[in-house]
A and B are shown apart, each in its own frame.
Chain A
Amino acid sequence: ETGVTQSPTHLIKTRGQQVTLRCSSQSGHNTVSWYQQALGQGPQFIFQYYREEENGRGNFPPRFSGLQFPNYSSELNVNALELDDSALYLCASSRQGSNQPQHFGDGTRLSIL
């Protein structure tokens, strides 16, 4: 089965710009979650999508937004980039259900200059 893939792997942006990160779910998975992992920290939950609807959100401002498509792939959009947005962004897919393990992609390393 195909695992979770994320693109791009690395990205450099400047403050104020906008960015879109992409994620393809593992086959058979209909739930996608996005996380921000700063250096030396654990992943911080941004939001989750299920059946193309946002299904939970962490403590991130509205300039972090997302989409899920009918094929369960997903996008994370961040507007008005700030220096503190520099981090590894991880996408994780799972089958429906809170007790299901998440399968993570290798992430997108975003650097803000």
Chain B
Amino acid sequence: AQSVAQPEDQVNVAEGNPLTVKCTYSVSGNPYLFWYVQYPNRGLQFLLKYITGDNLVKGSYGFEAEFNKSQTSFHLKKPSALVSDSALYFCAVWGANAGKSTFGDGTTLTVKP
């Protein structure tokens, strides 16, 4: 069965500092990996995806993610955090065998001024 783990429930960073939100996954075959962000009382918004190719993927709002096959990780990063980045972040994997997307339980990012 495929799974996603987001080991940190909460990440706190100061504005202007780099941020990392961690994600590891387990899936049969090649993974399709996604990051989404959720603001309070809203649905999820797509940030970026990895399908194949370059291990560093660039997405919306200055976010990027690094795919590491050997570590089965897909960590979300941003060089300089903004207070407005504070939100709930979800990592998701789609696997061909399961034929569905599996989401992690989310990481709450808080950026303090």
A residues near B (Cβ < 8 Å) are 4, 33, 35, 40-45, 48, 55-56, 58, 90, 92, 98-99, 101-107
Contact = CB atoms under 8 A, between A and B. Distances in A.
Contact of B34 (A44, A55, A101, A107): A101
Contacts of B46: 101-103
Top 5 nearest A-B pairs by Cβ distance?
A104-B43, A42-B103, A101-B46, A104-B44, A56-B99
A107 B43 contact: yes
B100 A45 contact: yes
Contact of A106 (B43, B90, B100, B101): B43
A10 to B, nearest CB: 10
A90 B106 CA distance: 15
B50 to A, nearest CB: 9
B45 A43 contact: no
B6 to A, nearest CB: 8
Contact of A90 (B41, B43, B100, B104): B43
Contact of A33 (B51, B101, B106): B101
Contacts, number: 57
Given A42-B106, A99-B51, A56 B32 contact: no
A contact patch SS: loop
A101 B100 CA distance: 12
Nearest to B44: A104
Among A4, A41, A44, A99, which residue has the most Cβ atoms of chain B within 10 A?
A99
B96 A45 contact: no
A48 B94 CA distance: 13
B43 A45 contact: no
Contacts of B22: none
